Chain A
């Protein structure tokens, strides 16, 4: 369950940053992107996948959350 920070980069893409590893990767697919639910399964550009317990609303980024590695 790593702590990650989600933010939008200058190009407007959603980026996942793994704090412990200093590793930044763009999110290429997000299961729920609102309205009503935001999160779920995330696919990163390097092929790895993470799961974020869906939030009720689209959050204000950046945001630090706990995710599950899939």
Chain B
């Protein structure tokens, strides 16, 4: 059942009735029925506001945004989770950012480094410990290209001066030491962590090689930003850029490295996948080095072709021709995939609730498979993300910002989607409700989903989830009644 705008509005009202009046009023501002003609979202939806006390939100903290998302995938730095041990240990390797290299030798992405704060560090301050830790890291891991200090909550509370330690240690070890002020209590969600991390890259890393002109650039150099190589996403994107004749000189930050970031200024175009988490540094690159940025979308053949053409339009005719050739080369394979899976997925209805980009980016891929998005929402998007979302979602679809677990469950109960794409916190709840579910943050231990190669996996995964026989067996055979029960009893 597809709902029109009025029905959706009514559903929202009914779900909100449970709340106390003040809470209901606040939450009402975060929910709406989509109107694709809208250009600006600030009149109709409130985003990036603090979650209300007492509701269950799916959001994370600024540390999660800075260490987990932006800095975590940089392979050749040691990210110190500065503070108690838990924040780093429980988030270690959870995002499945793939990297190449030898762990513990020249790449460190899957290890957990922490200053392991104890009571005495909180009382007397942890600066000395941090300085010692950094020189120890330099001894133990000489191939690390830099160290970052990702502060956890206590650091901000006790007022440690990590910037001073960073400056001093950087001189001592002769490498970049980056203080990242991403204490978890800052801001309303992990989104501020992205911003803080972007600013730390801008202030402590980006310009380090501005005097060094030994890098030989070509007119076809590009940088990929906002791709975290989840399950290999950046690699399946990178091959396409290379296939059309471009040279990828930096990956931010999936499978990326400090030297790549430092030489990004030689790029001619900055390709921005995740706008939410890396628009800050992209804007800076444009202002300081004159590198224009372009948002692209590598989910599903329709959007990939569109994006490849758009990317090629920044370059000369050879690249444009290459783009057409590459699209034509992959099209038959894509057609075969669609021919195989579309009949099994046609008309299935999907609800999405993911971070700050994917609910709008993956829609094209679902539509290529004949599926329909009936609800989309973000955990931590800002209004500029909603501006970009309305056009992508169908009229009357449900839009929810920072949905509480109660709202999401009620919407699902009423809308009965065939598939939900959301995070690990939601996954098992919906499994128990008997609804097919894909974890769309880290691709449910699968991936990559970007690029043509990724779409093949995406289509298979969606089919595997929705048409899994297990959903029919959620009810015990003897409770089903009818002839079916007798048959299975006889079998």
Contacts and interface: CB of A to CB of B under 8 A. Distances in A.
A7 B283 contact: yes
A64 B284 CA distance: 9
Interface residues of B, number: 12
Contacts of B387: 24
A17 B280 CA distance: 11
Interface in A46-70: 46, 62-64
Contacts, number: 26
A25 B378 CA distance: 21
A18 to B, nearest CB: 11
A24 B430 CA distance: 36
A58 B48 CA distance: 35
A62 B283 CA distance: 8
A46 B42 contact: yes
A67 to B, nearest CB: 16
B384 A23 contact: yes
B416 interface: no
A22 B48 contact: yes
Contacts of A63: 287
A13 interface: no
A5 B283 contact: yes
B9 to A, nearest CB: 24
Contacts of A24: 384, 387
A56 to B, nearest CB: 19
Contacts of B283: 5, 7, 17, 62
B286 interface: yes
B40 A45 contact: yes
B382 interface: yes
Q: Among A19, A23, A62, A64, which residue has the most Cβ atoms of chain B within 10 A?
A: A62
A17 B279 CA distance: 11
Contacts of A45: 40
Contacts of A19: 280
Interface string A2-25: 000101000000000101001110
A5 B42 CA distance: 19
A6 to B, nearest CB: 10
Contacts of B383: 22-23
Interface string B374-394: 000000001110010000000
B40 A22 contact: no
Nearest to B199: A19
Interface of A: 5, 7, 17, 19, 22-24, 45-46, 62-64
15 contacts: A5-B283, A7-B283, A7-B287, A17-B283, A22-B195, A22-B382, A23-B42, A23-B383, A23-B384, A24-B384, A24-B387, A45-B40, A46-B40, A62-B286, A64-B287
